[in-house]
Chain A
Amino acid sequence: MTASLPDGPVPGHAIVGLLLGPELGRFALALACCLALAQFVLPLLGAWRRDQPLMAIAPALAGSQLACLALSFLCLAVAAIGDDFSVANIAENSAVAKPLLYKLSGIWGNHEGSILLWCLILAACGAAVAWFGRTLPTSLQARVLGVLGGTAAGFELFCLLTSDPFDRVWPAPLDGAGMNPLLQDPGLAVHPPILYAGYVGFAVPFAFAVAALLEGRVDAAWGRWVRPWAVGAWCLLTCGIALGSWWSYYVLGWGGYWFWDPVENASLLPWLTGTALAHSAIVVEKREALKVWTVLLAIGTFSLSLSGTFLVRSGILNSVHAFAVDPARGVFILGLLGLVIGGALLLFALRAPLLVAGGVFAPLSREGGLVLNNILLCAICAAVLTGTLYPPFTSLLFGQAISVGKPFFDATAAPMAIPLLAVMAIGPTLPWKRARLAPVVTRLWWASLAGLGAGLVGAYGLRGTLPMIGAALAIWVIAGSAAELAHRVQLFRLPLPDSLRRARLLPRAVFGAALAHAGVGITVLGLVGMSQASHAIVAVHVGDTSRLAGYDWTLRGLADRPGPNYRARIATIDVTRHGRLVTVLHPARRDFAAQGQVTSEVAIHTDLVTDLYAVLGDEHGAGADHTAVLRLHDNPLAPWIWLGGLVMALGGGLSLSDRRVRVGAPQRARARIPVLAE
């Protein structure tokens, strides 16, 4: 650091900047990498040689690795908030005029910073296993932490060697280049951390799977330990995907919510297998069946999380999401993936055949239902994976560039989602081992009537067959979840107070599952509603009125307004229905001079049933001939898509809070491994 202190009283932030400088950050990162290497080697060696002290060192290493990464991240945050443009990463992505919130979120809004965040979350996962896993068998915990340490070491090395967020530039510019204005949005400020937490969270089930293969044993206890981690990561990933989809809906201004973009697919793939994992782990826990399959799912889910990131960052996939694309980085990540995924799968090939198969079950049983769930989810995953990788592979193998888009995904994913939704309501009503159909029918008859009714209403009111089927199935799933709960508490069969007492005694996981399933139904209803959306692109004078979906949209005026680091052009649109004012919309265009980029600010009015959505486009002509291009959308039930995602995640969270998953709570007093060295 060449900055000399000014004369007179030194401002506090300058001292903080000097104490927590970028070099300290890089040093802490390097130290974390060394600790992670130790966390990889020592506990695994200890577990292999049955050396108790070596195994017992793992939690301390995991804790100190987290502390180092937190310090490193803090240093980057100090540099970002203090506008230290001698740091290349900040000079390229920040600017003095940027609001504080985006200076903070800008830390992970670029490649280097996001990799550091990724490492931080991975270390936090390791520390969480060290803390919450105190009651695990010592050798299992040591192996899990060892695998996590190895993965973390790889990514920290990647960060240090190819994507150093603390790189300096000389001479330091007076002001930064500014952030991509599209990213200047509160939704996107929290989207990456949540999404990454979801991706990285699946590292824990992965580590458990590898540890189990090393131990050569998978049993019910293993299933019970893995499931909370899988469900937790799944909740975060669900929230992350929903947030991303919501962001693209209201920021990109295309009126769409899902574009089958490779980056979106990269997040959907681990979500699909992660959902399968959260379900198949139940079978391991309750019946000690599907062990090999569950281990493979745990490995596969994290592998897909990693590969998705790799594909996006290396520039192999075409995407609307701009990342600094660098094939040299791609080679490094590919090597890393080869080690992590290849190693795990090699171990799987060697050790999985030795795992002893557990309980047998009839096709019509809870296990059978969960197997069907797994098959369908994985089939959808395979279809999406094929569609995503098809373009680069045809280009590589046949030299022929083709593009796979929405029609392919709609045609392949939808037919498999239909049976998935159909069995979703039935599965939870089936008993383990073997079931009979008659009790299922008596429990679900009114749910199926509700579904049929929704289908009939849909046939009358909706355009298209698929939306009609979707509406029927969504109501069937929601009603089925309600019916399952009603049966559990014997609603209307017992007096109401008795039912309520039963409800209080019911495990939270039962409510969680019902809520999560209902959330899927809500999302599907949102999709059905959006299939009926209508839009119009109109060029209007001020004062003109256009009609869309039963509403009158009148452009009242256009005005200029300056913002902190942009100039805004704001339109005022009155929306009326039958002469009554519904809302006033203010879509805007923002001109970010520093980046030479223009973004559009979508105006949305929602009453949770319909979104009225307006975008301001270009303006043409002058004087009396001056027209503005407006894009107007009527999006029925659009908010339900993300609301459903939130409900799903809430359901997952509720089942996480179930006391049964708090691993071995009563034994905590006697289980003894000393803890975190923080």
Chain B
Amino acid sequence: MSGVVSRRRLLTLAPLGLAGAAGLGFWAMLSGMRGGSFDPHDIQAPVLDRPVPEFDLPGQAPGRGFSSADLRAATGPILVNFFASWCIPCVIEAPPLATVAGRLPVWGIAYKDRAQDAAGFVAHTGAPYTRLAADRSGLTAIDWGVSGVPESFLIRPGGVIAWHLAGPITQSLADALVARL
């Protein structure tokens, strides 16, 4: 009889074990997502660990435009940030972006935006772009695999995409990023 009971006990423990294992996995994923080491959305980013796609974008006031050649020629890491004036998370992103800009240059690409709107956005939010380009057609964003704004790419010297974030950079993420550099 006691054998039967203990087998039942084991069986009834199984759901708890399964749920616990799944929970641990989810916890690991979440902490990875917060630290930037795990991004389930990377599955669709075709550009990670690849050279930056070819492009040459005109300047957007108040900054100077740039091309893929400029990124390849860089000697330090650069954060490339796609934004738009019509995007609310981009406004929220500005202060954390300033934290990042204290450590490495942040280059902005205005995605599908009117020139005066983008200029107004930069002036209003104080977004810290060292160089600023305009992607009015949105074609460059497609080559980069951008799914929406804001989206950020960390470019290694030599023009290789090292890290990618779809969505706004939060303050904790910015701090983590700066600490890792």
What is the interface of chain A, defined by CB distance below 8 A to chain B? Answer: 92, 177, 292, 296, 299-300, 303, 307, 310-311, 314-318, 325, 327-328, 330-331, 334, 337-338, 341-342, 345-346, 348-349, 352-353, 389, 391-393, 395-396, 401-403, 594-596
The reply to whether B16 and A396 contact each other, CB–CB distance below 8 Å, is no
Chain B: minimal CB distance from A134 (Å): 33
Partner of A345 from the list B19, B28, B84, B112 (CB cut-off 8 Å) is: B19
Known: A318-B43, A395-B38. A342 touches B30 (CB 8 A): no
Closest residue to B38 on the A side, CB-wise? Answer: A396
The reply to whether B9 and A349 contact each other, CB–CB distance below 8 Å, is yes
The reply to whether B16 and A391 contact each other, CB–CB distance below 8 Å, is no
Residues of A within 8 A of B27 (CB): 331, 334
Known: A316-B26, A334-B27. A342 touches B84 (CB 8 A): no
Q: List 29 A-B contacts (CB under 8 A).
A: A299-B15, A307-B22, A311-B26, A314-B33, A315-B41, A316-B29, A316-B33, A316-B40, A318-B41, A318-B44, A327-B30, A327-B34, A330-B30, A331-B27, A334-B23, A337-B23, A342-B23, A345-B19, A348-B16, A349-B13, A352-B12, A389-B22, A393-B25, A395-B38, A395-B43, A396-B25, A396-B29, A594-B86, A596-B112
> In the bound complex, what is the Cα–Cα distance between A314 and B33 (angstroms)?
10
The 6 closest A-B pairs by CB, nearest first: A345-B16, A327-B33, A401-B43, A353-B8, A352-B12, A349-B13
Q: Which of B29-70 contact A (CB under 8 A)?
A: 29-34, 38, 40-44
> In the bound complex, what is the Cα–Cα distance between A651 and B7 (angstroms)?
40
Residues of B within 8 A of A318 (CB): 40-41, 43-44
Residues of A within 8 A of B88 (CB): 92, 177
Residues of B within 8 A of A352 (CB): 8, 12
Q: Which of B143-166 contact A (CB under 8 A)?
A: none
The reply to whether B41 and A346 contact each other, CB–CB distance below 8 Å, is no
> In the bound complex, what is the Cα–Cα distance between A396 and B30 (angstroms)?
10
Residues of A within 8 A of B44 (CB): 318
Residues of B within 8 A of A317 (CB): 40
> In the bound complex, what is the Cα–Cα distance between A548 and B167 (angstroms)?
42
Known: A177-B88, A315-B33. A342 touches B43 (CB 8 A): no
Within 8 Å of chain A (Cβ to Cβ): is B76?
Answer: no
Known: A303-B19, A334-B23, A345-B16. A392 touches B40 (CB 8 A): yes
The reply to whether B32 and A348 contact each other, CB–CB distance below 8 Å, is no
Partner of B16 from the list A328, A346, A389 (CB cut-off 8 Å) is: A346
Partner of A391 from the list B38, B43, B86, B112 (CB cut-off 8 Å) is: B43
Residues of A within 8 A of B5 (CB): 353
The reply to whether B19 and A342 contact each other, CB–CB distance below 8 Å, is yes
The reply to whether B12 and A396 contact each other, CB–CB distance below 8 Å, is no
Residues of B within 8 A of A341 (CB): 19, 23
Known: A314-B30, A334-B30, A337-B23. A348 touches B15 (CB 8 A): yes
Within 8 Å of chain A (Cβ to Cβ): is B120?
Answer: no
Chain B: minimal CB distance from A340 (Å): 11
Partner of B40 from the list A300, A391, A596 (CB cut-off 8 Å) is: A391
Within 8 Å of chain A (Cβ to Cβ): is B20?
Answer: yes
Closest residue to A597 on the B side, CB-wise? Answer: B86
Known pairs A349-B9, A349-B12, A392-B29; list 19 more (Cβ under 8 Å). A310-B26, A314-B33, A315-B41, A316-B40, A318-B40, A328-B34, A330-B30, A330-B33, A331-B31, A341-B19, A342-B16, A342-B19, A342-B20, A345-B15, A345-B16, A353-B5, A395-B40, A395-B43, A401-B42
The reply to whether A396 and B43 contact each other, CB–CB distance below 8 Å, is no
B79-118 vs A, Cβ < 8 Å mask (1 yes, 0 no): 0000010101000000000000000000000001000000
Partner of B167 from the list A325, A331, A337, A345 (CB cut-off 8 Å) is: A325
The reply to whether B112 and A334 contact each other, CB–CB distance below 8 Å, is no
Partner of B12 from the list A292, A327, A392 (CB cut-off 8 Å) is: A292
Residues of A within 8 A of B43 (CB): 318, 391, 395, 401-403
Interface residues on B, range: 20 to 34
What is the interface of chain B, defined by CB distance below 8 A to chain A? Answer: 5, 8-9, 12-13, 15-16, 19-20, 22-23, 25-34, 38, 40-44, 84, 86, 88, 112, 167
Closest residue to A338 on the B side, CB-wise? Answer: B23
Residues of A within 8 A of B32 (CB): 396
Residues of B within 8 A of A389 (CB): 22
Residue among B8, B15, B28 with the most chain A CB within 10 A? B15
> In the bound complex, what is the Cα–Cα distance between A598 and B143 (angstroms)?
21
Residues of B within 8 A of A316 (CB): 26, 29-30, 33, 40
Closest residue to B167 on the A side, CB-wise? Answer: A325
> In the bound complex, what is the Cα–Cα distance between A465 and B48 (angstroms)?
42
Chain A: minimal CB distance from B175 (Å): 14
Residues of A within 8 A of B84 (CB): 596
Residues of B within 8 A of A391 (CB): 40, 43
Closest residue to B33 on the A side, CB-wise? Answer: A327
Closest residue to A262 on the B side, CB-wise? Answer: B40
Residues of B within 8 A of A342 (CB): 16, 19-20, 23
Known: A318-B43, A342-B20, A352-B12. A334 touches B33 (CB 8 A): no
Chain B: minimal CB distance from A382 (Å): 10
> In the bound complex, what is the Cα–Cα distance between A401 and B86 (angstroms)?
32
Chain B: minimal CB distance from A660 (Å): 31
> In the bound complex, what is the Cα–Cα distance between A339 and B58 (angstroms)?
54
Residues of B within 8 A of A314 (CB): 26, 30, 33
Known: A334-B26, A595-B86, A596-B112. A315 touches B40 (CB 8 A): yes
> In the bound complex, what is the Cα–Cα distance between A395 and B8 (angstroms)?
34
> In the bound complex, what is the Cα–Cα distance between A393 and B20 (angstroms)?
14
Chain A: minimal CB distance from B47 (Å): 13
Residues of A within 8 A of B31 (CB): 331
Residue among A296, A395, A594, A595 with the most chain B CB within 10 A? A395
Known: A317-B40, A318-B40, A334-B27. A296 touches B15 (CB 8 A): yes
Residues of B within 8 A of A348 (CB): 12, 15-16
Closest residue to B20 on the A side, CB-wise? Answer: A342
Chain A: minimal CB distance from B37 (Å): 10
The reply to whether A396 and B28 contact each other, CB–CB distance below 8 Å, is yes
Residues of A within 8 A of B8 (CB): 352-353
> In the bound complex, what is the Cα–Cα distance between A337 and B15 (angstroms)?
14
> In the bound complex, what is the Cα–Cα distance between A132 and B25 (angstroms)?
40
> In the bound complex, what is the Cα–Cα distance between A345 and B88 (angstroms)?
42
Closest residue to A91 on the B side, CB-wise? Answer: B88
